[in-house]
């Protein structure tokens, strides 16, 4: 047996998220990057490939060419899946090309430029039967998995209230350089909701196992001249009667990447913060608050499976990201070996999360523009 072979589209020199995907894929020694279309600029693509020690003939500047060439290689040489790490507007075209060429897809989020593409993607996946993973990174943290498990086991009682927030400060000023996330043609209809609000919504549903059924939104573009939202607050209603608040912001000066979720049930509450990801708080009215920490024996199977080091050895964002690749790799292996994937691989966000995410983004924008208070969350 050998490592899984991965190709990559996007992520040339200097790109943040491409490097994150490469580290995440490499960290556990299960996946090997074998080819890439890192840039449509041939020189940049070439330099990127060299820096990654790739064989020059497997470095492409056209993703369609890559699909074609790789598909023509012998089965035990060609890539087995594609990681898509481009700006949003290319997610769908690349995924489409990959699926049509027979390759599984691991995609950065949001899944597509708009909901319409997400629905097309869903259809394509159904037609091809291929695998699709969506990197909602924060679902990869062991203690997020623990939180989800505790809620599922009823440890909090019926869920009543969900508060999820995702403040950042990096777009508080008009940036000097081009930021593709602020360009509707590349980013879609939303900046703040599209980049981070969608993570928050996904996390709320992932942890609680609930579905958002209605929202009321107020999005804002605080920086003059900005077309897309850079801040938004959303009231949520869930399918079990729970209520919630989702806040996301790119203009909360001094905030880093402060995703945080709090869930309150009838008998207990929980709290998790991405910037201190190895701590999960469980709260009660009648006994001391419990501080759960990654790596301890008292955690459940999912949290344990996705932890590499003993407690007290902090794992972070890259390990969480890698956990998504672990799950996706297991799905690919299982497919190739004709077996069911391990239980632990099943919670990787896929096309359903993709569709719900794009729905959320478009709905938040529409709801904010509307005078009607509550907007139903459509089921696609």
Q: Which of 288, 338, 339, 379 binds a second copy (CB under 8 A)?
A: 288
- Angle of the 115-128 helix axis to the 351-369 helix axis, nearest 10: 160
Interface characters, 233-272, with a second copy (x: CB under 8 A): x-x-x-----xxx-x-x-xxxxxxxx---x-xxxxxx---
Nearest approach, Cβ of residue 183 and a second copy (Å): 20
Closest distance between a second copy and the C-beta of residue 177, in Å?
A: 14
State the minimum distance, in angstroms, from the CB of residue 100 to a second copy: 29
Q: Supply the minimum distance, in Å, between the C-beta of residue 71 and a second copy.
A: 24
Name the token pair of 264.
Answer: 């309150």
Q: Does 16 bind a second copy (CB under 8 A)?
A: yes
Q: At a CB cut-off of 8 Å and minimum separation 6, what does 253 contact? A: 169, 172
Residue 369 binds a second copy, judged by CB under 8 A: no
Instruction: Give CA angle at 202 (200, 204), nearest 5°.
Output: 70
Binding a second copy by CB under 8 A: which of 22, 46, 78, 356? 22
Cβ contact 349:367 at 8 Å: no
Exactly one of 128, 296, 335, 344 binds a second copy (CB under 8 A); that residue is 296
* Shortest reach from residue 210's CB to a second copy, in Å: 15
Where in 195-234 is the site for a second copy (CB under 8 A)? Answer: 216, 218, 220, 222, 231, 233
Considering the complex, state which of residue 27 and residue 119 has its C-beta at the smaller distance from a second copy. Answer: 27
Q: What is the DSSP letter of 138?
A: G
Interacting residues with a second copy between 152 and 171 (CB under 8 A): 156, 160-161, 163, 165, 167-170
What does the block give as tokens for 130? 């291929």
Q: How many residues are recorded in the chain?
A: 380
What single DSSP character describes residue 194? I
| 276 touching a second copy, by CB under 8 A | yes
| Phi and psi at residue 29, to the nearest 5° | 70, 20
The answer to whether 285 contacts a second copy (rule: CB under 8 A) is yes
| Alpha carbons 278 and 285: distance in angstroms, whole number | 23
Q: With contacts defined by CB under 8 A, name the span among 106-114, 179-187, 302-310, 329-337 that binds a second copy.
A: 302-310
Local structure of residue 16 (DSSP, 8 states)? H
Among the listed residues 287, 338, 339, 379, the single contact to a second copy using CB under 8 A: 287
Is 72 or 75 the residue whose CB approaches a second copy more closely?
A: 75
Sheet holding 269-273, edge to edge: 279-283, 269-273, 260-265, 159-167, 243-249, 231-238, 212-220, 375-376
Residue 247 pairs with which residues in a beta bridge? Answer: 165, 233
By the rule CB under 8 A, 77 interacts with a second copy: no
């Amino acid at each position: 047996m050998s490592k899984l072979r991965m190709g990559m589209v996007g992520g040339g020199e200097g790109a943040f998220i491409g490097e994150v995907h490469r580290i995440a894929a490499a960290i556990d020694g299960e996946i090997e990057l074998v080819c890439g279309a890192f840039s449509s600029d041939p020189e940049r693509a070439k330099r990127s490939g060299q820096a990654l020690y790739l064989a020059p003939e497997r470095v492409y500047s056209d993703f369609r060419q890559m699909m074609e060439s790789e598909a023509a290689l012998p089965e035990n040489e060609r890539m087995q899946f594609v990681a898509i790490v481009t700006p949003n507007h290319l997610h769908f075209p690349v995924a489409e090309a990959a699926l049509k060429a027979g390759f599984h897809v691991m995609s950065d989020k949001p899944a597509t430029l708009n909901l319409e593409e997400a629905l097309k993607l869903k259809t394509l996946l159904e037609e091809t039967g291929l695998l699709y993973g969506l990197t909602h990174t924060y679902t990869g943290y062991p203690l997020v998995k623990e939180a989800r498990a505790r809620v599922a086991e009823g440890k909090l009682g019926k869920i009543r209230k969900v508060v999820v927030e995702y403040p950042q400060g990096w777009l508080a000023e008009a940036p000097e350089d081009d930021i593709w996330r602020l360009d509707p043609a590349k980013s879609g209809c939303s900046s703040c909701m599209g980049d981070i609000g969608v993570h928050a919504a996904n996390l709320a549903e992932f942890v609680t196992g609930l579905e958002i059924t209605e929202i009321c939104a107020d999005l804002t573009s605080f920086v003059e001249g900005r077309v897309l939202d850079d801040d938004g607050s959303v009231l949520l209603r869930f399918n079990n009667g729970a209520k919630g608040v989702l806040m996301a912001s790119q203009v909360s000066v001094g905030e880093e990447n402060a995703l945080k979720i709090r869930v309150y049930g009838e008998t207990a509450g929980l709290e998790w913060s991405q910037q201190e990801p190895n701590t999960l708080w469980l709260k009660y009215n009648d006994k001391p608050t419990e501080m759960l920490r990654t790596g301890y024996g008292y955690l459940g199977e999912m949290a344990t499976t996705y932890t590499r080091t003993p407690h007290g050895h902090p794992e972070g964002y890259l390990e969480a990201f890698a956990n998504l690749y672990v799950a996706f790799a297991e799905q690919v292996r299982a497919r190739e070996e004709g077996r069911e994937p391990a239980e632990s691989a099943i919670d990787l966000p896929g096309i359903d999360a993709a569709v719900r995410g794009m729905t959320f983004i478009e709905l938040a924008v529409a709801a904010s523009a509307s005078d009607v208070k509550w907007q139903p969350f459509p089921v696609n």
